[in-house]
Amino acid sequence: MWIAQRREGGFGLITPHGGLLVNQLMTEAEKNRLQAERLPTVTLDAWAYADIQCIGIGAFSPLTGFMNEADYESVVSNMKLADGTIWSLPITLAVSEEEAARVRLGERIALCCAEGVARAVMRVESVYRPNKRIEAQQVYKTTEIAHPGVQKLYERGAFYLGGPISIVEEPRGGPFNADYYTPRQARAFFHKQGWKTIVGFQTRNPIHRAHEYIQKTALEMVDGLFLHPLVGETKADDVPAQVRMDSYKTLLKHYYPQERVLMGVFPAAMRYAGPREAVFHALVRKNYGCSHFIVGRDHAGVGDYYGTYEAQEIFNQFNAEQLGISLLFFENSFYCNRCSGMASYKTCPHSSSEHVVLSGTKVRKMLREGIKPPAEFSRPEVADILIDALRSRDS
């Protein structure tokens, strides 16, 4: 366990990253001004649309907008903003060469969704052309287009615009409104519950028994668990967000203490950046008020691009003061027949022949055939939801 000692901030909770929880929501005066102006427009892709929501509510604190060239180059090169603050992923607004040519430094532009509605305003501080091969190699550790994050990087516009933004309306979570919390709302909930220590858990997959095991192990150490599934854009073969949410709710209802768990959606897009994204996920949960964050096996990984525990090892580059959040590192977990319970390689002395371990490929095949994985691997209620979803999709 990697431990940070800072416990300051709103409601007596941990200090937001950079010291201040950002709020980039427009005032009424700014909204009125926007209606009277005819600003140049840029259309947001799914990544950027998710990013403006996260920037606006302070989830990406201390960022107040999309990265200018100095911050971008520093983050790509050494995982720090230009002022030295730790930050591991570029948060960029990509545009085409034609769009970039129409933009002038210092001007205000409207950032619009695909339907043409202005969702934010940006003051342009920087227009630059990144070296995407360097970005891919540094951030994703590969330049292969087979990597979904690299593919998305290459597909986006060739130029980046940087500068502070203001969002028109506070996001409400769309279809996940009932489970949507801004960092301020999450912190207020934790305060109301009397929680001082909260462990955050990032997921983009259904939760199986190994996830449940490490969450509950962590819950033994803290006041509450913040289950924070990502519901932004993911790759096509990932389980859809609504299906995952249904599975989470069923699992929480039957197997978790209701008074010690909060589930809230995380609107960001998935980058699949492995180690760097693990750092990013920890910093974001710090902004939501989490004092602790779980980093398991191959966190935010895809394929075989990253080592099994590389997402844990990357944190050795930082000290406790730089990150300001306590990290809980877990080994690969499984059900052991000889132990008659969940375990990991740290706690189980038995051979792998006694372990109930299934590959993702095998699990997907079983579910498509209507076969439930063993109860030692996945709760039957969760398996039922996934089987029904696959049948509906394939019918």
pLDDT, one tens digit per residue, over 320-342 is 999 999 999 999 999 999 999 99
| Residues 6+ away with beta carbon under 8 Å from 345 | 331, 332
CA distances from 107 to 125, 136, 219, 221 (A): 8, 30, 49, 50
Q: For 294, left (φ over 0), alpha (ψ -120 to 50), or beta?
A: beta
Q: Which two tokens stand for residue 85?
A: 């603050």
What is the identity of the amino acid at 305?
A: Y
pLDDT at 237 over 60: yes
| Residues 6+ away with beta carbon under 8 Å from 333 | 209, 210, 213, 214, 296, 342, 343, 344
Residue 1, pLDDT score: 41
Residue 395, pLDDT score: 64
Residue 364, pLDDT score: 86
pLDDT band at 360 (very low <50, low <70, confident <90, very high): confident
CA gap 91, 87 in Å, rounded = 10
Residue 361, pLDDT score: 83
Q: Which two tokens stand for residue 123?
A: 């003051």
CA gap 86, 283 in Å, rounded = 9
Closest C-alpha among 102, 101, 335, 106 to residue 209: 335
Mean pLDDT in residue range 178-206: 97
CA gap 295, 329 in Å, rounded = 5
Kindly report, residue by residue over 114-134, the tens digit of the pLDDT. Answer: 999 999 999 999 999 999 999
Q: Which two tokens stand for residue 218?
A: 């962590």
Alpha helices in the chain (DSSP H): 28-36, 46-57, 69-78, 97-101, 132-135, 148-155, 183-193, 209-219, 241-255, 275-287, 310-313, 320-323, 360-368, 380-394
Residue 247, pLDDT score: 97
pLDDT at 7 over 60: no
Q: What is the pTM of this model?
A: 0.95
| Residues 6+ away with beta carbon under 8 Å from 207 | 215, 247, 248, 251, 382
Strands annotated E in 113-170: 118-123, 126-128, 159-167
Residue 10, pLDDT score: 62
Mean pLDDT in residue range 219-244: 96
Residue 390, pLDDT score: 87
pLDDT at 2 over 70: no
Kindly report, residue by residue over 30-54, the tens digit of the pLDDT. Answer: 998 888 889 999 999 999 999 999 9
CA gap 82, 125 in Å, rounded = 14
Structural domains of the chain, with CATH:
11-167 (3.10.400.10)
Kindly report, residue by residue over 364-394, the tens digit of the pLDDT. Answer: 899 989 999 999 999 999 999 999 998 887 6
Q: Are the beta carbons of 204 and 347 closer than 8 angstroms?
A: no
Closest C-alpha among 269, 330, 319, 288 to residue 89: 269
Kindly report, residue by residue over 67-85, the tens digit of the pLDDT. Answer: 999 999 999 999 999 999 9
Mean pLDDT in residue range 209-217: 97
How many CA atoms within 13 Å lie on the side-chain side of 78?
Answer: 10
CA distances from 143 to 150, 154, 160, 234 (A): 7, 10, 19, 19
Q: Give catalytic residues, as residue numbers.
A: 204-205
| Residues 6+ away with beta carbon under 8 Å from 124 | 103, 104, 105, 106, 107, 108, 109, 161, 162, 163
CA gap 222, 117 in Å, rounded = 43
Q: For 158, left (φ over 0), alpha (ψ -120 to 50), or beta?
A: alpha
